Amino acid sequence: MLQVTPIKPGNKQAFVLRRRFELLGALVVAALVPWAGLRWLITDTTFDIAAFHNSLIANALAILMALWIRISVSTYPGIRGGQLILPAVVAAHATMIMLLLLSRLPYHRPSLAAGFALHLLWAYGIYFFVQRRVRPCIAIVPFGTTDKLTTIDNVEWHRLHRPVLADADACGAIVADFSADLPDEWEAFLADAAIDGRVVYQVQQLYESLTGRVEIHHLSENSFGSLAPARAYMAVKHFADFLLALALLPLALPVMAGCALAIRVGDGAPVLFRQKRIGRAGREFTVTKFRTMRLAGRLDPDNREAAMTGDGDVRITRLGAFLRRNRLDELPQLWNILKGEMSFIGPRPEAHVLSSWYTSEIPFYRYRHVVRPGISGWAQVNQGHVAEVDEVHLKLQYDFFYIKYFSPWLDLLILFRTIKTVLTGWGAR
């Protein structure tokens, strides 16, 4: 088993864990080395030197952009650093190449290719040989509701027994319940920690960050206020969804035609499945998907049992299982996105009969309708498909986390994890 140990802030080894070390190393390995090495190998004096310089700048900017993406997205829970390396590096270098093509500036293809490959090697090398050997160490102030944190894995929890800063030197942060009645000496301890530049977390925010869920047992008026999503980003996202759906249509239509033909030949008509679901602001709309079940399985769309899909559901056809596993059955929902009824990312819309049931059984359930429903969402990439009330209660905590931390970076993380889900088939029913 790999030994995991916390690193003290003053330890010389701590420098290799810092982002600046990773950044400087990447700039040398993936930007300067291709620039200097390939330039030295080429003896043709008529070669355009500007192409080398542009490639150097593009590789350097891609390194900065990839690190920026990883830092911004890694603040959210449920991921390991290694999961972000490939999509972030690919996205950053692809963006730089696209900018070079659009600007028609000269560039050196071998330098760009070498920069991309060396960037990946450096990032994965740092992760596998340094970063994955260390897990965060957080000191706990032993008052209030902090005990619930110790049930969370992947963190080295250090319970403090006295208000002395030196006892927390081996930890990268301190967590406390600010709503608890703390003794004066512990209040002074937290003040000294903040003055000393230590990271001090409030227990509830840290719990949400580590679990990806917002507890809904004691939601108050103030809680609802903190769950109000940013309206400006909501408008920008709605516009971006429309443009992306429009751009994807030429690529998706041939695939959709193939799926429709396969369903028609293999299982007959109808090819599409339509169902009333609840969208933003509680409005009802008709969702469109490829039919994946036998016709007898959907005779009564208002029946609660018929609206649920269980593990190994016998109604799912062999072709339907393939479409579900690869999420191809969701492609017709591009039409729902173009109509403004859905988004690419958001809480999954529930069937009308199920939504009515959940609303009657679960407090605050209707609040999830504050944002547009999505094809993929935070609950789906963390929990998978659910139907029973106890599972939906947990799913609602994930949905509230998404609403509370509604941002482009969380959407980007969900996109990355959705791609992984599609490749592995996890969570499909």
State the burial class of residue 257 (Cβ atoms within 10 Å of its Cβ: 0-12, 13-18, 19+): exposed
Task: Give strand ranges (E) for 106-252.
Answer: 137-140, 156-159, 173-176, 199-202
Alpha helices (H) along 310-407: 318-325, 334-338, 352-361, 378-383, 389-404
In whole angstroms, how far apart are CA 150 and each of 147, 163, 226, 267? 6, 20, 26, 52
Rounded Cα distance, 390 and 33, in Å? 55
pLDDT, residue 26, reads 92
Distance CA 79, CA 87 (A): 13
Beta bridge partners, 138, equal: 157, 173
- The average pLDDT across 294-315 equals 64
Rounded Cα distance between 352 and 279, Å, is 10
How far apart are alpha carbons 6 and 138 in whole angstroms? Answer: 9
Residue pLDDT, tens place only, 15-66: 556 778 889 999 999 999 888 877 676 655 556 778 888 999 999 999 999 9
The full length of the chain comes to: 429
**Residue ranges per domain, the chain?**
12-133, 137-211, 231-424
Rounded Cα distance between 227 and 211, Å, is 17
Handedness of CA 96, 100, 105, 109 (dihedral sign): positive
The answer to whether the beta carbons of residues 415 and 76 sit under 8 Å apart is no
The average confidence (pLDDT) of the chain is: 82
pLDDT confidence of 10, banded at 50, 70, 90? very low
Which pair of structure tokens corresponds to residue 230?
Answer: 């940013």
pLDDT band for position 246 (50/70/90)? Answer: very high
pLDDT category of residue 421 using cuts at 50, 70 and 90? confident
**CA 150 to CA 243: how far, in whole Å?**
45
pLDDT bucket at 336, cuts 50 / 70 / 90: very high
Mean pLDDT of 397-413: 87
Identity of residue 241? D
Calculate what percentage of the chain has a pLDDT beyond 90.
Answer: 33
pLDDT digits (tens, 9 = 90+) for 58-100: 999 999 999 988 887 766 655 556 777 888 899 899 999 999 9
pLDDT tens digits, 138-197: 999 999 999 889 888 778 899 999 999 999 988 888 999 988 899 999 999 999 998 888
pTM for this model (two decimals): 0.72
pLDDT one-digit tens code per residue, 187-231: 999 999 988 888 888 888 888 888 888 876 555 444 555 566 777
Instruction: Answer yes or no: are the C-beta atoms of 176 and 144 closer than 8 Å.
Output: yes
Looking at domain 137-211, its CATH architecture is 3-Layer(aba) Sandwich (3.40)
Q: Which helix (H) or strand (E) holds 277?
A: strand 272-278
Per-residue pLDDT at 5:
38
248 CB-contact burial (10 Å; exposed 0-12 / middle 13-18 / buried 19+): middle
Sequence letter at residue 179 = S
**Is there a cis peptide before residue 270, judged by omega within 30 degrees of 0?**
yes
Which of these, 302, 361, 6, lies nearest to 154 by C-alpha position?
6
